[in-house]
Amino acid sequence: MDKFLKDVIAGLSSEQKAIPSMYFYDEMGSKIFQEIMGLEEYYLPACEVEILNNRAESIMAQISFASIDIIELGAGDGSKMISFLERFHKKMKSVTYIPMDISPEILEVNKKLILNQIPDLEIITIPGDYSLTSSQLAKRENPKLILFMGSNIGNYTINEAKEFMRFVNDIMKVGDFFLMGVDLKKNPHTIRKAYNDSKGVTRRFNLNLLERINRELKGDFDIDSFGHYGTYNPINGEALSFLFSEKNQHVKIGDQVFKFDKYETIRTEISRKYSLKELDSIGKETGFEWDKHFLDSKEYFSLSLFRK
């Protein structure tokens, strides 16, 4: 059975209905996500870019290698990394940029875009799921800087986040670095608004999951009878997104039928926020020697540098 179908059936059969957030990103979902990235209320990308622009020298000052592999996990089109890579390329004798992404097409876009700006940068693209393709890095001798940007770590539960950081730590040698973009705990209203934007783009992003199921899995969700609701819990730092049924109804997916009670929820995403203290302790717990945090001027977001 197709993995998407299997995951949807499992998710909608469980006590708390849920759909894994990785399924947001079909062609339409990726387009809507780009819209989200441009929203003022969704402050994350602007903060991350500010740190990349203003703190690159301070980050680089921590990393004194002559040659380096800069490996980006889930690299996407790489556009926001250009000036950062340019600075490393100027400072160090040899830099190899290794973007890894599930999509081979996006890696082609990435390579073109970056070579256009930095024509003599060596680029090796590694398409595929990085948990499977990371073995290809074992042969490389250069010291590493691994990047995981965009606060993607927030989409993991705390246990998954620790598992991920252990996985990254395992790829690294002693003295290598890991730089991760992390959205920080802050005024809870600011976070709540980021996931309940006033233009309803995040609502469309969530509802597209149901449309995708209708398109790809022969579903018959009546989209208009579902609402979107985003919460933020300042105690554990979890922003959770839900869709909820506005009436009692049955939904067919292929030959399976799912019953929804009025106001029953489907959990669609966790976007966890961290404190610097929590990052320090997770870093220690997952095998890193130290970490340092580079923040934007509002102290909303951190680029956290971990050394093995």
- Contact residues for ligand AVI, defined by CB under 6 A: 36, 44, 150-152, 154-155, 195, 202, 205, 269, 271
Both tokens of residue 6? 């299997």
Q: Name the residue among 166, 193, 169, 155 with its Cα closest to residue 274.
A: 155
**Is the Cβ of residue 195 or residue 258 nearer to ligand AVI in the bound state?**
195
Q: Which is nearer to ligand AVI, 88 or 232 (CB)?
A: 232
Q: What are phi and psi of 176, to 5 degrees?
A: -75, 165
Residue whose beta carbon is closest to ligand AVI: 271
Q: Report the alpha-carbon distance of residue 213 to residue 190 in Å, rounded.
A: 31
- Cβ(108)–Cβ(116) under 8 Å? no
Q: Which is nearer to ligand AVI, 122 or 160 (CB)?
A: 160
Residue number with CB closer to ligand AVI (134 or 202): 202
Residue owning tokens 């945090």: 293
Question: Shortest Cβ distance from residue 25 to ligand AVI (Å)?
Answer: 9
Return the closest-CA partner of residue 241 out of 226, 255, 225.
Answer: 226
Residue 150 CB, shortest distance to ligand AVI, in Å, is 5
| Residue 201 Cβ vs ligand AVI, minimum distance, rounded to whole Å | 8
- Our CB check for ligand AVI shows the closer of 151 and 302 to be 151
Report the nearest approach of ligand AVI to the CB of residue 259 (Å). 27
Secondary structure E strands in the chain: 17-18, 67-73, 94-101, 122-123, 126-127, 144-148, 177-183, 226-233, 238-245, 249-253, 256-260, 265-272, 290-295, 301-307
**List of residues 6+ apart from 55 with CB closer than 8 A:** 294, 303
Q: Are 211 and 221 in contact (CB under 8 A)?
A: yes
Helix (H, G, I), strand (E, B) or coil at 116: helix
Q: At closest approach, how far in Å is the CB of 153 from ligand AVI?
A: 8
- Cα 232 off chain centre by: 18
Q: In b/e form, how buried is each residue of 133-171, taking b as 16+ CB within 10 angstroms?
A: ebeebeeeebbbbbbbbbbebbbbeeeebeebbeebbeb
CB of 21 to ligand AVI, least distance (A): 7
Nearer to ligand AVI, 136 or 152 (CB): 152
137 with 71: CB under 8 angstroms? yes
Minimum gap (Å) between residue 1 Cβ and ligand AVI: 27
Sign of the alpha-carbon torsion through 77, 203, 224, 15 = positive
Residue with tokens 């301070």: 58
Residue with smaller CB distance to ligand AVI, 44 or 147: 44
Instruction: State the nearest-atom distance from the C-beta of 239 to ligand AVI, in Å.
Output: 7
> Which position has the token pair 């004798």?
93
Pick 142 or 151: Cβ nearer ligand AVI: 151
